[in-house]
Structure 1
Amino acid sequence: MVSTHPAGVQHTGSQYLPQKRSANANISPNQELLPVTAKVNSHDVLEIGGCDITTLVQQFGSPLYILDEATLRLACQQYRDAFQKYYQGESQVLYASKAWNCLAVCAIAASEGLGIDVASGGELYTALQAGVNPEKIYLHNNNKSRDELIFAIESGCTIVVDNWYELHTLVEIVETANTGYVNPRLLLRLTPGIECHTHEYIRTGQLDSKFGFDPNQLEELFTFISKQTALNCVGLHAHIGSQIFERQPHRDLAGVMVQWLKAAAKHGLELTELNVGGGLGIRYVESDDPPSIEEWVKAICEVIQAACATENLPLPKLLCEPGRSLIATACVTAYTIGSSKVIPEVRTYVAVDGGMSDNPRPITYQSVYRAVIANKIAAPITQTVTIAGKHCESGDILIKNAQLPETEPGDILVVMGTGAYNYSMASNYNRLTKPAAVLVANSEANLILQRETYQDLIRQDCLPERLKV
């Protein structure tokens, strides 16, 4: 297939390497396509964290999630340091671990001073097993089970209450239990009614959302909470969505939440925490232009401080819960190329050894990605192809119109920005085994997730005696 690049201009995969946006600006990981340690080594092979990608595939197999520790730590540090720089009150950054929850990732985030936002009992258990202080864990979910609520209370984490059913269940648990459940810490999640430009499945702030109390119920909600001596309501939470580039919706959200604090104070509620959610986007393709981490934090802090000053309210402890902008760019997925199919005058398909089971975002959200050939990173781009997965689904397409050098079976394709919602949403569709994941740093690779085996696939299967042959 003919290249789409202008004649006489030689493009290679090297164009995706990290670079500062300006001479006076630090690299913000969410504005890059590849991890910050990515470079081309002396053999013209892509290297991340000092590790040759082709060597990693030889050692650990493919598909393979490759997580760059330096990029993840840098993003954590930039969030933490920006709040300390721009916010005059106390602050706490939480990692929204639904993006990728595993022991190693939770441990890294916690070691940088971040708390952990969890969305289930399983994510809570993982964070605790990783050694995270439960006082820095916040449990979300729009339909928490009774067992999850009890687990959260017993662990000592904070519960972000989403609805009346959950609130009444908590009251019942605390008032009727004989196990000493006393004053669990709560935040109340409210729906702010703020629209933002992102995929409809990842917008959460509009009024027509399954999440949060309706703001029209504020009076009833605050009246109820003020009478519950068994509950320790410490603050409010809201979230408007994910993969957002606009600054204004977050400024609007901050202003609205300060008004909620004012309303709570009128009911005698001294709420001391304000969680503005997350949602900062990342650069998946060249045309994406998200704000830097520091720019996003600065905008939030300025609005909160100005609104509190106007309303003569003390500054609350300010929390946020980024996920994608912390972890996505830190990871790439390496695949081995297999078959190809050329349809003259239509397209060329190039197939890899994974697909929708390790990255369901393209088929679910029509998400777009960029890719390079790790072992031909410096080769000129000469063709436009469609990267197909190996599943029995016509829609199992990872990337349309991928611009690559000439490919052949055995080449290593690297898809960028796969740290968020790839492993965490992975499946065993067609009974494919889930990939391994390695953490790379200082030229060393450590396994953080073992590759599943065929035996793992049937581990939970039960075969009744009458069906055995």
Structure 2
Amino acid sequence: MNLEQLEAPIPDGAPHGVWSINTDRLSDGEFAVAGVRVSDIAKEFPTPRYVLDADDARFRARAWKEAMDHAFADLAGAHVYYAGKAFLSKAFARWMYEEGLHIDTASEGELRTALAGGVPGDFCGLHGNNKSRAEIELALEQNVAHIVIDSLAELEFVNRVAEDLKKIAPVYLRLTTGVHAGGHEFIATAHEDQKFGLSVSTRVSHQAIARAAELSNVDLIGLHSHIGSQISATEGFAQAAQVIFAERVWAHEQGIEISEIDLGGGYGIRYTADDDVPPNPREFARILADVVRKHVSESGLPAPLISIEPGRSIVASSTLMLYTVGTVKDVAIDSGLRTYVSVDGGMSDNIRPALYEADYTAAIVSRDSDASRTRARVVGKHCESGDIVVRNVALPSDVKAGDLLAVPATGAYGRAMASNYNMLPRPGVVAVENGTLKELIRSETINDLLSLDQD
């Protein structure tokens, strides 16, 4: 596949980015993922279940790697860090590494998962605004590529830990650029009034750069920017990059050379057919490379090594959430009727609609139907009125208990943010590759939950 096919429709006519590239509607109306019918998946791995199209995820990772390599070939090169917070397992981390990507982690658990998957320490980065001593020690012992610093206090802490271990900590300083982007207040991360980063507008960034240069057990190798999530326009990334490069120029004027710049992630996808089509990786890479060339030309400084951190744009559309329909009922509303379709999961396996008011779509995937469409709302089984999976979607009016229903684009943050609300076990993740099913993460059981109870 080539990069242009990222925008191509899949066989059932849905826009790419909503269903994975290997999701098909068969002649009898049933969906298949990479050649495996969803009914066969559900028989072997009962619902609810995350179903991951492995080739889709690999393809999207490869698309980012190839795009960045091409765009930065005449500069100092580029690294792509897969943002493990979107979804991570040992096998998935290994797949990303096999495609040439690094892994961005934000906790000891994520870092240990990447390492257990066979990713070398120097192919990992460590984020987090409140890292523990254990996390910093692990990062230094594994020789991670960089530790991202969010505050002056953390800078001093990392230096002390590195001194105790007789190590030099390679660090990035995360700067808040004032460039705001993202689909919800909680996922816009470059404004001042939030927990991440060192402010550019108040010159805390200058304090941090100067102090990092003084510390004996810290090596300031880079600056970092992340402006938000689910962003479908390029302007914000370009503006933030310009702010970061101005900080690099200021550091140079102080005699401090910074050789690497991380421009973060947050690249958006399509969750429904109504969403805008975001630029593909090649377009994003070209925009970023143009900003770097302008910086090099105007400053006279050597080109920095660039890194980015896509997560959602690699894994989200690779995965659908497979449910079984239970209760179906019609509810009278001002404009007529709404059909409530209850499934065997809910906000415990996808919190984003409740947390961010995120929109998704859904389809009955176990059969075809000639019935008229009804205005439906897909809801979960939790004791919570906000337990909504899909707020508004047109489903066949003959939807019934036992139907398999799928919600696409759930690979990012679905399993990663899953909970045990109402003591529901978290669903497992099964990958489909070349007609073969592989369980990446098994479903929890009630016994798993009870085993934690130390009565």
The DSSP-based 3-state class of the residue aligned with 2:155 is helix
Q: Report the counterpart of residue 183 of structure 2 in structure 1.
A: 198
Measure the CA separation in 2 of the matches of 1:100 and 1:174. 29
Aligned to 1:408: 400
Instruction: Calculate percent identity across the aligned residue pairs.
Output: 35
* SS of aligned partner of 1:143: coil
2:436 to 428, 444, 458: 444
* 2:281 corresponds to: 293
Matched residues in 2 for 1:361 and 1:164: separation? Answer: 32
- Give the whole-Å Cα distance in 1 for the aligned partners of 2:35 and 2:324: 21
- Range with bigger deviation, 357-366 or 39-48: 39-48
- 1:168 shift after superposition: 0.9
CA drift at 1:390: 0.2
What TM-score comes out, normalization by structure 1 length? 0.90
Which has the larger displacement, 70-79 or 289-298?
289-298
The partner residue of 1:385 within 376, 380, 388 is: 376
Report the Cα offset of residue 209 of structure 1: 2.2
User: Per-residue deviation at 1:446?
Assistant: 0.5
State the SS of the aligned residue for 1:328.
Answer: helix
| Structure 1 residues 4-403: aligned runs within 5 Å | 25-28=4-7, 32-87=17-72, 88=74, 89-157=76-144, 158-175=146-163, 177=164, 179=165, 181-215=166-200, 216-289=203-276, 290-344=278-332, 345-377=336-368, 379=370, 382-403=373-394
Question: 1:222, 1:267 within 8 Å by CA — same for their partners in 2?
Answer: no
Is the partner of 2:111 in helix, strand or coil?
Answer: helix
How far the C-alpha of 1:286 sits from its partner, in A, is 1.1
Amino acid at match of 2:68: F
Distance of 1:45 and 1:226 partners within structure 2: 61
- Show the counterpart of 2:11: none
Segment drifting more, 67-76 vs 208-217: 208-217
Aligned amino acid, residue 260 of structure 1:
E
Q: Tell me if structure 2 keeps the 8 A contact 1:348–1:386.
A: yes
SS in 1 for 2:207: helix
CA contact (8 A) 1:258 1:308 kept: no
Contact 1:174 1:230 in 2 (8 A): yes
Return structure 1 stretches of 4+ with deviation > 6 angstroms: none
Identify unmatched segments of 5+ residues in structure 2: 9-14
Q: What is the alpha-carbon distance in structure 2 between the residues aligned to residue 31 and residue 234 of structure 1?
A: 38
Letter in 1 for 2:46: G
- Whether contact under 8 Å (1:135, 1:156) holds in the other structure is yes
Number of aligned pairs? Answer: 439
Structure 2: distance between partners of 1:197 and 1:359: 19
Task: State the 1:268 CA deviation.
Answer: 2.2
Higher relative contact order (CA 8 A, sep 6+): 1
- Asked if the contact 2:213/2:219 (under 8 Å) is kept, the reply is no
Contact 1:31 1:292 in 2 (8 A): no
Following superposition, the deviation at residue 376 of structure 1 comes to: 2.5
Measure the CA separation in 1 of the matches of 2:405 and 2:362: 7
Residue equivalent to 1:466: none
Q: Are the aligned partners of 1:197 and 1:244 in contact in 2 as well (CA < 8 Å)?
A: yes
Q: Deviations over 1:391-446 (max 9, x none)?
A: 00011011122111121111000001000010000000000011121110111110
Structure-1 separation of matches of 2:121 and 2:39: 40
Q: CA deviation at 1:326?
A: 0.8
User: Match of 2:391, SS?
Assistant: strand
Structure-2 separation of matches of 1:117 and 1:281:
18
SS of the counterpart of 1:402?
Answer: strand
Q: Indicate the larger mover: 258-267 or 362-371.
A: 258-267
CA contact (8 A) 2:360 2:408 kept: yes
CA separation of 1:350 and 1:197: change in aligned 2, threshold 3 A:
same
Q: State the TM-score, normalized to the length of structure 2.
A: 0.93
Does 110-119 or 284-293 show the bigger shift?
284-293
Deviations 1:322-355 (A, max 9, x none): 1111110000000000111212434221100000
1:377 Cα deviation after fit: 4.6
Give 1:263's aligned amino acid.
W
